Amino acid sequence: MNTQRAIWIIALAALGWSACESDDVLIDPGFDYFPVERGRYVDYEVDSIYHDVPSGIQDTFHFYVRELIDTTYFDAESRPTNRIERYYKEELADDWTIRDVWVANRTNSTGEKVEENVRFVKMVFPVEPDVMWDGNAQNTMDTWDYSYDDLFNPKTIGDTTYASTVTIIQRDVENLIQSEQAREIYAQGVGMVYKELDTLKFTLENGISELETGVELQMTAIATGVLE
């Protein structure tokens, strides 16, 4: 075999190998963790505690919330936008009452949600380890560096085990005068199934931190599905 033919064969083999690699390696962006299907809903059990120690107040709240993707439309930037109706009830046996409306956008690079007129970047795509982004990039609040954690593992939330979940660490600040802990867990094909948000402030008395004010919140999915 002459040298020119050998080089030609090696080049073809390299091209073939490259093509095989390109065909075989398909990256799943993780869109299924931020579903946009019309009629999809998640019901949450919500528990929260409000602390105001100087005023002698510690209020506990327990209620239920349903988030339902009602319709999809195009916003001013021509992006598909989900209209999310949020329903509320105090007791499990009560009827749902609509409370407010949020919106969400899933693009090729982000999953964003507008909560009480504040836009948050909930996810970035593709979902991968060691990725960090500013969850407040689309609002005027201080930077919160979100990151992925515990990817694609099964997790039991409430009474339900989800086959594949993604945890997002939104805030992890702990010192003598404050504690800010925030995380959300998303299940494949469902969306958010758990939320934890604690923002607590402390005073220092003789070198000891004592709770002053703050809020503790937990949302746990108890039912999911699609309404026809």
**Tens digits of pLDDT across the chain (228 residues):** 554 444 343 333 443 433 444 455 567 899 999 999 999 999 999 999 999 999 999 999 999 999 999 999 999 989 999 999 999 999 999 999 999 999 999 999 999 999 999 999 999 999 999 999 999 999 999 999 999 999 999 999 999 999 999 999 999 999 999 999 999 999 999 999 999 999 999 998 888 889 999 999 999 999 999 998
C-alpha distances (whole Å) from 62 to each of 41, 94, 160 are 20, 13, 20
- The CA angle 175-176-180, to the nearest 5 degrees, is 45
Q: Distance between CA 215 and CA 203 in Å, rounded?
A: 15
- Residue 2: CB atoms within 10 Å: 7
When the candidates are 1.20.120, 2.40.360, 1.10.10, 1.10.3450, the CATH number that belongs to 29-226 is 2.40.360
Cβ 73 vs Cβ 54: under 8 Å: no
- DSSP 8-state class, residue 6: H
Q: What pTM did the predictor assign?
A: 0.86
